[in-house]
Structure 1
Amino acid sequence: MTSIAPLPLQPRLPAFGGGLRLSAGLTLAAALGLAAAPAMAQQGLPSFRNLVKKVVPAVVSIAVTESAAAAAADDGGDQGAPTPQAGHQKVYGAGSGFIIDPSGIIVTNDHVVGGATKITVSLADGTQLPAKILGVDQLTDIAVIKVTADRPLPYVSWGDSRQVEVGDWIMVAGNPFGLGNTVTAGIISARGRDIMSGPFDDFLQLDAPINPGNSGGPAFDLNGGVVGVDTAIISPTGGSVGIGFAIPSEIAQNVVSVLEQHGHLDRGWLGVGLADDESGDGVRVTMVQASGPAGHSGLRAGDRILSVDAKKVDTALGLIRAVAEIHPGERARLAFIRHGRVLSANVTVGLRPETQAQ
Structure 2
Amino acid sequence: MPTARSFAASRRLVLGGLLASAALPLLPRPAAAQRGALPDFADLAERVMPAVVNIAVLSEQTTTQVPPELRGTPFERYFRERRGRQQVQGAGSGFIVDPAGYVVTNNHVVGNATRVVVSLQDGTELPARVVGTDDLTDLALLRVEPRAALPAVPWGSSASTRVGQWVLACGNPFGLGGTVTSGIVSARGREIGAGPFDDFIQTDAAINPGNSGGPLFNVAGEVIGINTAIFSPTNASAGIGFATPSDLARGVIDQLRRDGRVERGWLGIAVLDYGTEPGARRGAQVQGVERNSPAARAGLRQGDVLLALNGERMETSRTLIRSVSIVPPGQTIRLTLLRDGRQQEIAVQVGRRPPSAS
TM range (shorter): 0.7 to 0.9
Question: Deviation at 1:43?
Answer: 9.9
Structure 1, unpaired ranges of 5+:
1-40, 71-84
Question: Deviation at 1:58?
Answer: 0.8
What's the secondary structure of 2:211's corresponding residue?
coil
How far apart are the structure 1 equivalents of 2:83 and 2:40?
A: 50
CA 1:97–1:330: 2 relative to 1, 3 Å = same
Q: String of CA shifts for 1:195-252, please: whole Å, max 9, x gaps.
A: 1111111111010111100000001111111111000110111111110000111111
How far apart are the structure 1 equivalents of 2:135 and 2:120?
A: 25
What's the secondary structure of 2:159's corresponding residue?
helix
Structure 2, unpaired ranges of 5+:
1-33, 64-81
2:198 to 195, 201, 209: 201
Q: Is the 8 A contact 2:62 2:85 kept in 1?
A: no
Give the 5 Å matches for 1:313-352. 313-352=314-353
How far apart are the structure 2 equivalents of 1:232 and 1:280?
A: 34
Q: Which amino acid aligns with 1:282?
A: G
How far apart are the structure 1 equivalents of 2:267 and 2:117?
A: 40
TM-score, length-scaled by structure 2: 0.81
1:121 to 118, 121, 139: 118
Q: Which amino acid aligns with 2:45?
A: V
What's the secondary structure of 1:336's corresponding residue?
strand
Q: Which amino acid aligns with 1:63?
A: A
Give the 5 Å matches for 1:11-22. none
Match of 1:48 in 2: 41
Question: Deviation at 1:176?
Answer: 0.6
Q: Is the 8 A contact 2:307 2:338 kept in 1?
A: yes
Give the 5 Å matches for 1:21-60. 45-60=38-53
Q: Is the 8 A contact 2:132 2:141 kept in 1?
A: yes
Match of 2:273 in 1: 276
The number of equivalent residue pairs is 303
Give the 5 Å matches for 1:152-301. 152-278=149-275, 279-301=280-302
Q: Is the 8 A contact 1:220 1:227 kept in 2?
A: yes
Q: Which amino acid aligns with 2:291?
A: A
How far apart are the structure 1 equivalents of 2:313 and 2:159?
A: 21
What's the secondary structure of 1:254's corresponding residue?
helix
Q: Is the 8 A contact 1:114 1:143 kept in 2?
A: no
Match of 1:12 in 2: none
How far apart are the structure 1 equivalents of 2:339 and 2:161?
A: 41
Match of 2:79 in 1: none
**More divergent stretch after superposition (249-258 vs 100-109):** 249-258
Ranked by relative contact order (alpha carbons within 8 Å, sequence separation 6 or more), the top structure is 1
Q: Which amino acid aligns with 2:42?
A: R
Q: Which amino acid aligns with 1:56?
A: M
How far apart are the structure 1 equivalents of 2:224 and 2:106?
A: 15
1:66 is the counterpart of 2:59? yes
RMSD, aligned α-carbons: 1.9
How far apart are the structure 1 equivalents of 2:103 and 2:217?
A: 16
Greater Rg over alpha carbons, structure: 2
CA 1:299–1:130: 2 relative to 1, 3 Å = same
What's the secondary structure of 1:320's corresponding residue?
helix
How far apart are the structure 1 equivalents of 2:286 and 2:322?
A: 15
CA 1:137–1:90: 2 relative to 1, 3 Å = same
Instruction: Tell me the percent identity.
Output: 50
